[in-house]
C-alpha cells in the first residue's frame, strides 16, 4: 500500500484531499496539520519519516496571506522557503517523492498569453518571492519531485474568494471588484484529484507543472458568476486595480498554460465555471 503524508492538512487543499481520499483505497494517508507536524522542525519531520515508511509527501503547508507577507517577510520566508529546504532535504534522505504546491505569483504578470513552465519568473511580491525560493530549494535538494503551480484556489473549505463573496452577498447591497486582473479560478478538489491520479499512475515524469482549471476570468467575472449561480442579487461594480490598492502587487495577467500537464498525464481539466457550480453545490 502506498503511504502518503499530507502536511498542512487543515488548509483548503489538505481538506480537499481528505474529502476525496475514500475514493483511493489503495493509499494510506497520514494527515498532519501544522500543530501536529511543523515542516520547519527538522527533528519532528525526521521522526515522522522514520516512524512510518512514507512514499509520497504532499506539502499543502504554506504562508498564503499575500498582503500580510509584505510586512511579515521573515515568517513568510520561514514557511515558504526555509521549511521547504528542510522538507526537501529529508525527502531526499528518506527517498520520499515530494509533491509541492506553488503559485502563479512567481510570474511578473505582464504577458498577454498564458504562462508556460519555462517562462521567465519575476515575482513582484514577498509571497511570490518566497514561493519561488522554495521551488529553487526543492530543485537543489531533491531528485524526485513534482511542483504544481496553481492560481486563485478556492473550495468549500477555509478562507477564500468564493466564501468571501457569499458573505458579502448577504451583508452588502453593492460591491466593487477589480476587472483588470486576469487569471483562472481553481477548485481545490479538482487539484486534489489531479494529484492523487498522478500518484496512482506511478509517474516518474518529475518537474514543474502548471495546473489550474480551464478558461480565463477577471476577479469581477469570478464574483459575477458566484452571485449568478447562487441567485444573489447585488449591485456589482467593476473597478480598476488602482482604485483598490493593496500592500502586495498582484499579477495583472496570470493565466497558466496546462499543455505540459495535459500531454504528459493525459488528464482532462474542467472549466472553471463548471467547477464553481460544483463547489457552490457542495457548500450548500
Q: Residues in the chain with pLDDT < 70?
A: none
**pLDDT value for 284:** 87
Is residue 177 within a helix (H) or strand (E), and if so which, with residue range? strand 174-178
Q: Which tens digits make up the pLDDT trace of 231-259?
A: 999 999 999 999 988 999 999 999 999 99
Strands 217-218 and 182-183: antiparallel
**Superfamily (CATH) of domain 2-160+185-213+256-270:** NAD(P)-binding Rossmann-like Domain (3.40.50.720)
Burial label for 111, CB within 10 Å (0-12, 13-18, 19+), is middle
**Residue corresponding to grid cell 512514507:** 54
Helix (H, G, I), strand (E, B) or coil at 101: strand
- Is residue 49 within 8 A of residue 86, CB to CB? The reply is no
Q: Name the nearest CA neighbour of 192 among 143, 255, 150, 161.
A: 150
Residue 145 among the catalytic residues:
no
| Alpha-carbon gap, residue 160 to 163, rounded angstroms | 6
Tell me which of 63, 127, 187, 220 is the catalytic residue.
127
Cell digits of residue 52:
512510518
Domain extent listing, the chain: 2-160+185-213+256-270
Amino acid at each position: 500500500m502506498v503511504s502518503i503524508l499530507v502536511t498542512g492538512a487543515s488548509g483548503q487543499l489538505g481538506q480537499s484531499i481528505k474529502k476525496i481520499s475514500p475514493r483511493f483505497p489503495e493509499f494510506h494517508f497520514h494527515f498532519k496539520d501544522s500543530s501536529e507536524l511543523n515542516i520547519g522542525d527538522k527533528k519532528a519531520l525526521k521522526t515522522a519519516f522514520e516512524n512510518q515508511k512514507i512514499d509520497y509527501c504532499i506539502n499543502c503547508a504554506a504562508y498564503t496571506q499575500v498582503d500580510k507577507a509584505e510586512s511579515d517577510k521573515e515568517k513568510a520566508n520561514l514557511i515558504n522557503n526555509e521549511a521547504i529546504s528542510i522538507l526537501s532535504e529529508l525527502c531526499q534522505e528518506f527517498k520520499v517523492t515530494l509533491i509541492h504546491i506553488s503559485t502563479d505569483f512567481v510570474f511578473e504578470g505582464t504577458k498577454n498569453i498564458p504562462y508556460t513552465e519555462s517562462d521567465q519568473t519575476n515575482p513582484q511580491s514577498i509571497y511570490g518571492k518566497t514561493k519561488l525560493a522554495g521551488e529553487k530549494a526543492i530543485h537543489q535538494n531533491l531528485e524526485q519531485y513534482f511542483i504544481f503551480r496553481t492560481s486563485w484556489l478556492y473550495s468549500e473549505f477555509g478562507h477564500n474568494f468564493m466564501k468571501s463573496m457569499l458573505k458579502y452577498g448577504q451583508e452588502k447591497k453593492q460591491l466593487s471588484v477589480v476587472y483588470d486582473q486576469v487569471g483562472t479560478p481553481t477548485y481545490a478538489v479538482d487539484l486534489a484529484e489531479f494529484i492523487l491520479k498522478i500518484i496512482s499512475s506511478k509517474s516518474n515524469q518529475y518537474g514543474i507543472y502548471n495546473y489550474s482549471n480551464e478558461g480565463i476570468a477577471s476577479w469581477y467575472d469570478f464574483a459575477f458568476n458566484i452571485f449568478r449561480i447562487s441567485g444573489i442579487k447585488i449591485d456589482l461594480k467593476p473597478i480598476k486595480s488602482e482604485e483598490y490598492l493593496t500592500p502586495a502587487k498582484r499579477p495583472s495577467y496570470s493565466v497558466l498554460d496546462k499543455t505540459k500537464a495535459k500531454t504528459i498525464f493525459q488528464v482532462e481539466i474542467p472549466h472553471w465555471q463548471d467547477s464553481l457550480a460544483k463547489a457552490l453545490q457542495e457548500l450548500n
